[in-house]
Structure 1
């Protein structure tokens, strides 16, 4: 079995139940940008993954949540250390689901995101 993108990134502690998902990443030097802070793409990946898992916790086994819109608001810079992301389903429609997510470090919110997911039935 090949390693997934988030596994390669170092994401761990993934749990999802009843429309809420949690995951963690221990940010190291490899996750930093040239300014020495956690790369924005890493943070965007964390919120996207957390929200996708939150959606999946409410769908069928063969359903695949696909991000159709993602807005990430970067509130403050992250540094090496533990990052914790929480994704939550906010509204569920017939074909689209709206979610929110946050990434925190040391009790401070780094990122807030809102996304719309379509659920693909395979």
Structure 2
């Protein structure tokens, strides 16, 4: 992860920024622009799925060793209301950690309202 807070990989190319990551939690900020909208003029569901997956994966990495690599094995996203252009915040947190599987949860807020919720299971791969 870069020192400037930019997320790496695909989420970083979208513009996601890791604002905080510690002890099984992570906070990501994102500026929704017109290029992130679907034909209906609302935030594309795939962008939101990428953001929650990234926040939860970052939360897992903050609570595991450098040799543990979280790999998403299941992801469920609930879209609560349409997202629009402007800033949003994604908060991910580790809920339950087993030896090989970890369960996480994420909330997405925009303009003070919840627009999405996600639950994911991550397999912990060992390098």
Please tell me the TM-score bracket, short chain as reference: over 0.9
1:80-95 alignment runs, 5 A limit: 80-95=85-100
Aligned alpha-carbon RMSD (Å)? 1.0
- So what's the TM-score if we normalise by structure 2? 0.91
SS at match of 2:27: strand
Q: Deviations over 1:53-82 (max 9, x none)?
A: 000001111321000000000000000000
Tell me the equivalent position of 1:34: 39
Q: Is the 8 A contact 2:18 2:26 kept in 1?
A: no
Q: Structure 2 stretches of 5 or more lacking a match?
A: 1-7
Q: Structure 1 stretches of 5 or more lacking a match?
A: none
Report the count of equivalent residues.
120
- Whole-angstrom distance in 2 between the partners of 1:110 and 1:86: 12
- Whole-angstrom distance in 2 between the partners of 1:112 and 1:25: 16
- So what's the TM-score if we normalise by structure 1? 0.95
Kindly indicate whether residue 71 of structure 2 is the aligned counterpart of residue 66 of structure 1. yes
- Whole-angstrom distance in 1 between the partners of 2:89 and 2:59: 15
Tell me the equivalent position of 2:106: 101
Q: Deviations over 1:67-120 (max 9, x none)?
A: 000000000000000010000000011110000001100110111000000011
